[in-house]
Amino acid sequence: MLLKHALAVVTGGGSGIGFAAAERFVSEGARVVISGRNAEKLQRAAQQLGKNALPVVANAAIPDDMRRLYETAVDHFQCDVDVVVANAGVSRQTPVRDTPLEQFSDVLNVNVGGVYATVREALPFLARPASIILVASLAANQGTKNFSAYCASKAAVVSLAKSFAAEFVESDIRVNSISPGVANTPIFDSLGMSEAQLLEWSRVIPMKRPAEPAEIASAILFLASDASRYMTGADLAVDGGMSGISPF
């Protein structure tokens, strides 16, 4: 068991990659606290995860919510937090000509401000050693038409992981980011993308298919566990070859 008795907090743990990570953590012996804004979704997810999971409604971009989340986690399980997965994020189409600054900032507020608050508010509650994983994206390094806010936000997440790693290395807190390519999750519903469109995207993936959330969760588990103990400040690409293999 890679995470026996560990306490992990996974933001956005009610669906997709976050839920898959929580599921994997529980199967490796961890207790998990999953958070998000939708209480019903979280409750359903926690039921599926079993008695070692606690759902807490908390908006990742609101520092008071995050402080309450960590207080609740530590109080409920009576131990410090070993692993934080800052996974909560949103994706929106933001074509430059049609997107006022306000809508651009909304994406940045959740994807960057939310990650900042998730990490900053965790600090008083962390065990030593601790591992923090920030969920970035392949989009951090690839300009994508109509997604400038999302791409910029994920580039910031990769950068935050490196600066956090530098700031916490002497405190025995590791910080790494992970960059999935395309994974089959509900995030595409919010973009109004059909499964057929997702399959169309798959044509440019060297492995010719999107990832299953469990395949991203395996890499998150690696970064959470002692197996990656000599890694900090790194970004791990889990993208079916998209960032490393030319399409030509």
Does 116 participate in catalysis according to the annotation? no
Q: How far is the CB of 137 from ligand NAP (least distance, A)?
A: 4
d(CA 17, CA 198): 16
Query: CA-CA distances (angstroms) from residue 83 to 72, 131, 153?
Result: 15, 5, 23
d(CA 213, CA 200): 19
Instruction: Name which position in 6, 54, 183, 221 contacts ligand NAP (CB under 6 A).
Output: 183
Instruction: Name which position in 11, 176, 177, 225 contacts ligand NAP (CB under 6 A).
Output: 11
Q: CB under 6 A: which stretch of 8-16, 47-55, 75-83, 169-177 binds ligand NAP?
A: 8-16
# chain residues binding ligand NAP, by CB under 6 A? 30
Size of the chain, expressed as the number of residues it contains: 248
Task: Indicate the residue among 59 and 225 with the shorter CB distance to ligand NAP.
Answer: 59
Question: Shortest CA distance to 8 belongs to which of 137, 160, 118?
Answer: 118
Element (H, E) at 126: strand 126-135
Query: Token pair of 199, please?
Result: 């399959």
103 sits near ligand NAP (criterion: CB under 6 A): no
Instruction: Name which position in 33, 36, 131, 173 contacts ligand NAP (CB under 6 A).
Output: 36
- Hey, what long-range contacts does 141-147 have (CB within 8 A, 24 or more apart)? 141/179, 141/243, 142/243, 145/95, 146/93, 146/94, 146/95, 147/91, 147/93, 147/94
Q: CB under 6 A: which stretch of 68-76, 120-128, 166-174, 176-184 binds ligand NAP?
A: 176-184
Task: Indicate the residue among 7 and 183 with the shorter CB distance to ligand NAP.
Answer: 183
Residues with catalytic roles: 150
Please report, as ranges, the residues that interact with ligand NAP according to CB under 6 A. 11-12, 14-18, 35-38, 41, 59-61, 87-91, 110, 114, 135, 137, 180, 182-183, 185-187
